[in-house]
């Protein structure tokens, strides 16, 4: 445990990439009922961020998530030793850090890959001291970007059942696509709340990595006890706001330059009171 926490602290202070650690075979997941987790998430999961194609939105509703608090106790107990390990490891790294409830993430067969993004605001310095953890329950993949001399290089990390992948908050990444069902666990490790700096991560917000990146904000609706993958996406782009402001300035300038013509001499004058 001590050697793991030392490596995590070193990663949080690193200035070069890659900004993640893979700790192989840390946890015994042989008895975790993978099939039950996939089935439960497919029935009760919420759709999460997928992909953006140019100016359009693309969401196939095949990447699903369930928060641990919504998992029945009998099912959650089957992987409670994973939760305990992550909490103990985080406390050993820094006892002031906050561990979020785990998320079960399932990719259904045919799930497309995500666009590159950050779960944390990668422009916020606080993201360098936060991180998230992926726990493999079966062989899974994570796309990520390395930056060298101003160029980005896309790479793929493969991790297996029992592996832990610790990713610093400013890691630009994307979940892989899958031809068959896949499941893994995710934990967010955040700095203690403070009024002196803005939080690096906000609930239900994803920070796209592109020239005109804004963010995606998801609104979830539950009409019944089952969510049935209902998800509404709202994309806010800086480019859109820039074009809107330009149109407003042009309209204002046109109104200001409009000259009101005086009435014609043939027009009869109004009657005096």
Average pLDDT over residues 74-86: 97
Residue 250 has pLDDT above 50, yes or no: yes
**Residue given tokens 């970007």 in the structure block:** 145
Least confident of 15-29, 52-66, 113-127: 52-66
Q: What is the pLDDT of residues 13-31, one digit of tens each?
A: 888 777 999 999 999 999 9
Q: What is the pLDDT of residues 133-173, one digit of tens each?
A: 999 999 999 999 888 776 778 899 999 999 999 999 999 99
Please give the pLDDT value at position 227.
33
Task: In whole angstroms, give the CA distance from residue 72 to residue 56.
Answer: 37
Token pair of 155, please?
A: 């790479």
Residue 214 has pLDDT above 50, yes or no: no
Please give the pLDDT value at position 271.
44
Element (H, E) at 189: strand 182-190
Q: Which residue has the higher pLDDT, 235 or 156?
A: 156
Helix ranges restricted to H, the chain: 2-12, 34-44, 73-76, 80-93, 238-256
Residue 165 in contact with residue 134, Cβ under 8 Å?
yes
Q: 87 in the Ramachandran plot: left (φ > 0), alpha (ψ -120 to 50) or beta? A: alpha
Please give the pLDDT value at position 148.
77
End-to-end Cα distance, the chain: 96
Average pLDDT over residues 251-257: 71
Q: DSSP secondary structure string, 77-134? A: GGGHHHHHHHHHHHHHH-TT-EEPPPEEEEEPTTBPPPPSEESS-TTSGGGGG-EEEE
Residue 46 in contact with residue 66, Cβ under 8 Å?
yes
Please give the pLDDT value at position 259.
52
Query: Taking the CA of residue 51 as centre, how many other CA atoms within 13 Å lie in the half-sphere pointing to its CB?
Result: 15
Sign of the C-alpha dihedral, residues 17, 25, 181, 203? negative
Fold entry, domain 2-249:
Jelly Rolls (2.60.120)
Q: Which residue has the higher pLDDT, 48 or 194?
A: 48
**Residue given tokens 């796209």 in the structure block:** 208
Among the listed residues 5, 192, 187, the one whose alpha carbon sits nearest the alpha carbon of residue 92: 5
pTM exceeding the 0.85 threshold for the entire prediction:
no
What's the length of the chain? 273
Q: How many helices (H) and strands (E) does the chain have?
A: 5, 17
Please give the pLDDT value at position 197.
63
Average pLDDT over residues 123-131: 88
Residues 6 or more apart in contact with residue 88 via CB below 8 angstroms: 1
Q: To 10 degrees, the CA torsion angle through 179, 222, 236, 200?
A: -80
Task: In whole angstroms, give the CA distance from residue 163 to residue 29.
Answer: 9
């Amino acid at each position: 445990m001590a050697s793991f926490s030392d490596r995590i602290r070193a990663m949080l202070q690193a200035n070069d990439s890659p900004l993640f650690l893979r700790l192989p075979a840390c946890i015994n997941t042989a008895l975790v009922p993978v099939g039950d987790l996939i089935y439960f998430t497919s029935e009760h999961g919420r759709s999460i961020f997928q992909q953006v194609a140019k100016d359009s939105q693309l969401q196939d509703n095949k990447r699903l998530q369930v928060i641990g608090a919504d998992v029945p106790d009998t099912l959650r107990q089957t992987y409670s030793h994973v939760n305990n390990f992550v909490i103990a490891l985080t406390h050993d790294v820094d006892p002031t850090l906050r561990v979020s409830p785990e998320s079960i993430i399932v990719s259904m067969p045919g799930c497309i890959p995500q666009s590159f993004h950050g779960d944390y605001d990668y422009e916020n310095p606080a993201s360098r001291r936060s991180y998230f953890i992926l726990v493999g329950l079966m062989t899974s993949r994570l796309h990520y970007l390395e930056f060298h001399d101003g160029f980005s290089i896309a790479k793929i990390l493969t991790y297996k059942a029992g592996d832990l992948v610790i990713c610093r908050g400013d890691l630009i990444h994307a979940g892989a696509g899958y031809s068959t069902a896949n499941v893994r666990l995710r934990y967010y490790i955040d700095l203690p709340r403070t009024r002196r700096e803005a939080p690096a991560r906000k609930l239900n917000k994803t920070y796209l990595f592109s020239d005109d990146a804004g963010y995606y904000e998801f609104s979830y609706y539950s009409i019944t006890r089952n969510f049935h993958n209902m998800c509404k996406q709202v994309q806010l782009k800086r480019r859109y706001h820039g074009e809107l402001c330009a149109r407003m300035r042009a309209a204002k300038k046109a109104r200001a330059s409009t000259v009101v013509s005086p009435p014609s001499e043939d027009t009869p004058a109004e009657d005096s009171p």
